[in-house]
Amino acid sequence: MLLSEIKPVSSVRSLKVALVGNPNSGKSTLFNVLTGLNQKTANFPGVTVEKRTGRCNVKNTEGKVESFEIIDLPGSYSLYPKTPDEQISFSVLCDPQDDAKPDIVIVIAEGTNLKRNLFLCSQIIDLRIPVILAVNMMDIVNYKGIRIDFDNLSQELGIRIFPMIARTGVGVQELKQALTETVPLPDHEFLDVRQFAPTVVDQIKAIAPITSNYGAYQLANNIEFVSWFKNRQEKKQKIINVISDSGFDPVQQQAYETLERYKVISGIMSRHVRMEPVQKRPEWSKRLDNVLTHRVWGYIIFLVVLFMIFQAIFSWAQYPMDFIDDSFALFGSWLSSVLPSGILNDLLVNGILAGLAGIVIFIPQITLLFAFIVILEDTGYMARVSFIMDKLMTRYGLNGRSLIPLISGVACAVPSIMGTRTIQSWKQRIITIMVIPLMSCSARLPVYTLIISIIIPSSPISGFINPQGLALMSLYLLGFVAAIAAATFLKYIVKEKGRDFFVMELPLYRVPRWPDAGIAVIDKVKVFLFDAGKIIIAISIILWFLASQGYGDKFKSLNRQIEQATALQTNPVTLSALEAQRLEYSFAGQIGHLIEPAIAPLGFDWKIGIALITSFAAREVFVGTMSTIYSAGNESKTKMTVRDKMMAEINPTTGKPRYNAATGWSLMLFYAFALQCMSTIAVVKRETGGWKWPMIQLGYMSALAYMASFIAYHLLS
């Protein structure tokens, strides 16, 4: 069934409902309200654009439950795609072959920018799709003295309109009930585009299975984005010939249509929207802005906020982390005692369980980090940070729009790199993509936390300052400074292909919508836990095998000695020494020794070398790898946590602890700068259209990591 042929729908099960709207219109908030936790995230087929879908169950007037699949489409300003995100929205709405084409479209419009939002809404109306318009943020609309005549506006547009405040749920129930009723097609066209190119429209409708005039007009303008022609090249060529023979100019046609649409929209706005005397902005809001956006105090306050966040991450997470750590150690000890000795026991306890413990323990810190980021965004403070940073970042080849992807990089580089699509300047976008991985992402947090807990005491400074929190903050600031320095260098290397200007309206301060914040945090933690967990378990099993098996007479001899020592209940210190030797002669040990000469100048041994290699799958795998390596075949240390095992490690050359300040800082700096993430490399390749930029990125970050680690190790040794 083609989009243009969709008939009015009534009470049926499993209808697809697409949420469409301009960026920052509240679309994602409405999606969360409709779906709650009943949602999932994936990518649209063939592209690295996030696709969020969820289920919404609503009781109709007969008391029956109807189920709707809600699709949250990327934010778009129009159906003329200028970015990959907008191409997705165009394809879903205009491509007859797209699997995600909806039965109903809900257009979410920001009430304070209704004129701009009606442009997209009017285009969708002309596609002859069942449409509902949700005018969001009515609290701000009323606050600004904007009065909208919804009844007459609904009649003029020919669709149902629902005013709402998605953040608080006002108007949402009425919208949900409307989905269970018949959602008719718009009763008339908003703009007759056939008058602009009647021959082209008529001939395209005769060639392609499209019934709406605007569907044919859009096909003429954007034929390269329509996958329906993939197996119909002959028809595609016919349409191209029609376009060419008629002298149809897409650029000119788009400009003309835009002008005509805004003429109609301006008339509608004058008839149905009026302004009343505007309430003065609260004095406290002005005063707060004067401080938070001050050219000096703004930066100081931002640093203080970061200081408080990282202090809290270490202080508040300590107790739940200790509980998780002790629980895994006790469970491992119990499991080891109830299972018969042998390969299965060793695999479960020292392979899978040890690797899993290395990631689960950091959930409290990851949760806190994500929670703070969400709160800063929802309150409107992050927009102020972008504003004050714009002037500073412009000097280094970036702009204020680059800050959001950079700050988001603290969570994960992959969606942050995809978020650079809002940067129109090709040069600034490339530079931003190239430096985002220098921001310390959540995958680095387990590495930082583990090493910091080993080399830095937790005793408070002056009674309340946590030195471990200070160390963590310094690593995050170092990543930002490195990103700025790299951007400064790259602005002289990357050739200019355009320029982007940063314009933004500071949002009102508001209390976060806690259910939305909770959903966002839970969703991010789930991605971190399950995506990383799959990799860690797989790598842990492989590492367990490599670390517990080996070849040669020496390995076999050590195996026999350990079996005899265990049977005779030999001194644990002697047994531990034998197990360490066996690990060194295992397959993993042999691999580690091959790369040890290259990393020895950084203070790393062969065990760290193995972790560096496995970390290319995901940085957080480092902790699971170390846990597995130190646990594999090591019965005497079953009750010890990975931190305890690493603290007990002795450097055979010096006779002192392996993990001292020099080795610890060298290791953390290596992880701060190295691009050890295959997912990041893949998404950079996809976003830049080739291997050139990801290979440059991998090269310069690897060189920077090695150099920084080398200097740190030799200065602190």
pLDDT in tens, 649-690: 887 778 788 889 999 999 999 999 998 777 788 778 877 878
> What is the phi/psi pair of residue 57, to 5°?
-105, 130
pLDDT value of residue 419: 66
User: Is the pLDDT at 37 greater than 70, yes or no?
Assistant: no
The alpha-carbon radius of gyration of the chain (Å, integer) is: 30
> Which of 584-588, 602-606, 607-611 has the least mean pLDDT?
584-588
Task: Give the highest mean pLDDT range of 126-130, 226-230, 456-460.
Answer: 126-130
Residue among 319, 434, 519, 318 at smallest CA distance from 694 = 434
> Which of 219-223, 280-284, 557-561 has the least mean pLDDT?
280-284
Rounded to an integer, the average pLDDT of 308-337 is 82
Question: How many Cα neighbours within 13 Å face the side chain of 505?
Answer: 5
Residue among 522, 351, 358 at smallest CA distance from 447 = 358
pLDDT value of residue 44: 40
Q: How is 16-81 classified by DSSP, letter by letter?
A: EEEEEE-TTSSHHHHHHHHHTT-EEEEE-TTS--EEEEEEEEEE-TTS-EEEEEEEEPPP-SSSS-
pTM for the complete prediction?
A: 0.62
Question: How many Cα neighbours within 13 Å face the side chain of 576?
Answer: 13
CA-CA distance, 51 to 72, in Å (whole number)? 7
| For helices 114-126 and 250-272, angle between their N-to-C axes, nearest 10 degrees | 120
Is 500 or 309 the better-scoring residue by pLDDT? 309
CA-CA distance, 351 to 630, in Å (whole number)? 10
| For helices 426-435 and 692-716, angle between their N-to-C axes, nearest 10 degrees | 40
Q: Grade residue 1 by pLDDT with cuts at 50, 70 and 90.
A: very low
> Which of 126-130, 390-394, 445-449 has the least mean pLDDT?
390-394
Report residue 349 as tokens.
């306890």
Rounded to an integer, the average pLDDT of 426-442 is 86
pLDDT value of residue 664: 93
User: Is the pLDDT at 120 greater than 70, yes or no?
Assistant: yes
Q: Grade residue 264 by pLDDT with cuts at 50, 70 and 90.
A: very high
High-pLDDT (> 90) share of the chain, %: 22
Residue 319: count of CB within 10 angstroms of its CB: 10
pLDDT value of residue 275: 84
Is 302 or 500 the better-scoring residue by pLDDT? 302
- Structural domains present in the chain: 3-190 (3.40.50.300), 195-258 (no CATH), 297-490 (no CATH), 531-716 (no CATH)
Report residue 198 as tokens.
């009647």
> Which of 138-142, 432-436, 614-618 has the least mean pLDDT?
614-618
User: Is the pLDDT at 279 greater than 60, yes or no?
Assistant: no
At 497-540, the pLDDT tens digits run 545 555 555 666 777 878 777 877 887 777 667 766 676 677 77
- The C-alpha torsion from 347 through 591 and 551 to 357, rounded to 10°, is -10
* Residue keyed to tokens 């002037």: 391
CA-CA distance, 68 to 139, in Å (whole number)? 28
CA-CA distance, 27 to 33, in Å (whole number)? 10
User: Is the pLDDT at 10 greater than 60, yes or no?
Assistant: no
pLDDT value of residue 40: 58
Rounded to an integer, the average pLDDT of 198-220 is 89
pLDDT value of residue 514: 80
CA-CA distance, 622 to 616, in Å (whole number)? 9
pLDDT value of residue 43: 44
> Which of 2-16, 92-106, 161-175, 186-200 has the least mean pLDDT?
2-16
User: Is residue 466 within 8 Å of 316, Cβ to Cβ?
Assistant: no
Q: Grade residue 39 by pLDDT with cuts at 50, 70 and 90.
A: low
pLDDT value of residue 280: 56
β-partners of residue 183 are 9
Contacts of 638 (CB under 8 A, 6+ apart): 332, 333, 336, 349, 350, 631
User: Is the pLDDT at 11 greater than 60, yes or no?
Assistant: no
Q: How is 486-524 classified by DSSP, letter by letter?
A: HHHHHTTTSPP---------PPPP----HHHHHHHHHHH
Task: Give the highest mean pLDDT range of 209-213, 452-456, 537-541.
Answer: 452-456
Task: Give the highest mean pLDDT range of 265-269, 454-458, 507-511.
Answer: 265-269
At 607-632, the pLDDT tens digits run 888 888 877 766 777 877 777 777 65
Is 253 or 501 the better-scoring residue by pLDDT? 253
CA-CA distance, 439 to 481, in Å (whole number)? 9
Measured in residues, the chain has a length of 717
Rounded to an integer, the average pLDDT of 381-409 is 74
> Which of 462-466, 488-492, 553-557 has the least mean pLDDT?
462-466
Residue among 255, 196, 208, 202 at smallest CA distance from 232 = 208
* Residue keyed to tokens 């990799």: 535
| For helices 381-394 and 400-408, angle between their N-to-C axes, nearest 10 degrees | 120
Question: How many Cα neighbours within 13 Å face the side chain of 632?
Answer: 30
- The C-alpha torsion from 245 through 246 and 248 to 253, rounded to 10°, is -170
One-letter amino acid of 549: Q
Rounded to an integer, the average pLDDT of 231-246 is 86
User: Is residue 633 within 8 Å of 696, Cβ to Cβ?
Assistant: no
Three-state SS for 108?
strand
User: Is the pLDDT at 102 greater than 80, yes or no?
Assistant: yes
| For helices 250-272 and 150-157, angle between their N-to-C axes, nearest 10 degrees | 150
